[in-house]
Structure 1
């Protein structure tokens, strides 16, 4: 039997998409068709924020796309060396929270140490952060929140006394576009990557 998977391919340690491998174990032949493409907007504005870790209490990554935005910023403006020599260490002196092991793995690849990856979703990560950060620290903390709009609500509600920074748009936007011919209902949808100032 053949199976059609409408998703982006991801390689595991074996160099194969885990869905294809798992379905293959049951005699199913899987074909992957990526249905979305992504375009980041305003990366220079984001890079400016990323270049000044002293203005933030930490980072919160809620998706692999957020990590991709960091990588693109560093590659595009040849900041990889500056990242390795200076910025990476400064960000590692702060808390770097992530949702999920896949995102944690990608954040680790850019040299950052993570916590919270076992929480599983944005709401549980927010609960985790609130459980380890005191009320005073939360009031003083201004974290960069790198997440999809749909996850923002889950996180924002947990930081009730945190300054508005975690959900203030800083100009880094992600346009999610359905690939031509794959989705007739919607031709495109915009999501904003939200970062704290």
Structure 2
């Protein structure tokens, strides 16, 4: 099967509240750098514990909110919409001046757009490990007080323990709540077959370990491993990079930040050094 040179397939999910510009930002930046770009919707999400989340959100019990993905912000929005009238107003009054710690620009954008939260910070850190360090630094003075309220951390059912263990080691209290689980798109196999049926992309970019798992499962099920030898695998962040390694795939490049410019730079640096 032929390989379409400079073609990039983005394996990412669209987030509620993501602007049209945000959705197209990767394609816009990559195409300006000489790549062609296609997006594959790999994932779907099921939300849970939304009533419990809403109860926590409308009580003044926490010192900040941790959002490690756009889905976490979506869960907050859904929980408020499903609650009693006035829940969103109460939420806004409580959280408008509290820090909202976000992993990546996409998460911050969704938090601002669908939740109206303007006190977002930490998005430049790019991954959970660096965000945890950022939070510790930001809360240094608060930790010296006699009483520190916990941070609220709504997250995925498969969230790694990075945030939890790092903050607990620093004696920063945290309340963690699972609010969604990640599943493969119902049309993933068909969509992937359609894309590969025309020509293989030169670059396959993964945004999460879940995307790696579901796409590689389809590839193995359809016995397309031989074709995959022609593709360059690219990861967004170190956790996704490790997922590719664990799947037995060679990582050609890793974008250390989850944003279009960082990905474009990673691809161009790979071309320079190859």
TM range (shorter): 0.7 to 0.9
* Superposition map of 1:2-41 within 5 A: 3-9=8-14, 14=21, 17-25=24-32, 29-41=36-48
For the 8 Å contact 1:6–1:34, the answer to whether it is kept is yes
Following superposition, the deviation at residue 62 of structure 1 comes to 1.3
For the 8 Å contact 1:63–1:103, the answer to whether it is kept is yes
Poorly superposed stretches of 4+, deviation over 6 Å: none
| Larger-Rg structure | 2
Matched residue SS, 1:166: strand
- Residue of 168, 172, 187 corresponding to 1:162: 172
Q: Who is 1:177 aligned against?
A: 183
- Residue of 56, 69, 74 corresponding to 1:68: 74
Partners in 1 of 2:66 and 2:76 — Cα distance? 12
Matched residue SS, 1:131: helix
For the 8 Å contact 1:66–1:146, the answer to whether it is kept is yes
Could you tell me which runs of 5 or more consecutive residues in structure 1 were left unpaired when the two chains were aligned.
187-197
CA RMSD, Structure 1 to Structure 2 (Å): 3.0
Following superposition, the deviation at residue 153 of structure 1 comes to 2.1
For the 8 Å contact 2:157–2:181, the answer to whether it is kept is no
Q: Who is 1:119 aligned against?
A: 125
Q: Structure 1 length as normaliser, TM-score?
A: 0.73
Following superposition, the deviation at residue 16 of structure 1 comes to 5.3
Q: Who is 2:232 aligned against?
A: none
For the 8 Å contact 2:73–2:110, the answer to whether it is kept is yes
The alpha-carbon distance between structure 1 residues 58 and 99, as it changes in their structure 2 partners (threshold 3 A), is same
**Structure with the larger helix share:** 2
Partners in 2 of 1:119 and 1:67 — Cα distance? 18
Following superposition, the deviation at residue 77 of structure 1 comes to 3.2
* Superposition map of 1:143-154 within 5 A: 143-148=151-156, 152-154=160-162
**How many residues were matched structurally?**
179
- Residue of 78, 99, 102 corresponding to 2:103: 99
Following superposition, the deviation at residue 131 of structure 1 comes to 1.5
Following superposition, the deviation at residue 143 of structure 1 comes to 0.8
Q: Who is 2:259 aligned against?
A: none
The alpha-carbon distance between structure 1 residues 6 and 138, as it changes in their structure 2 partners (threshold 3 A), is farther
Partners in 2 of 1:9 and 1:107 — Cα distance? 14
Following superposition, the deviation at residue 64 of structure 1 comes to 0.7
Could you tell me which runs of 5 or more consecutive residues in structure 2 were left unpaired when the two chains were aligned.
190-213, 219-274
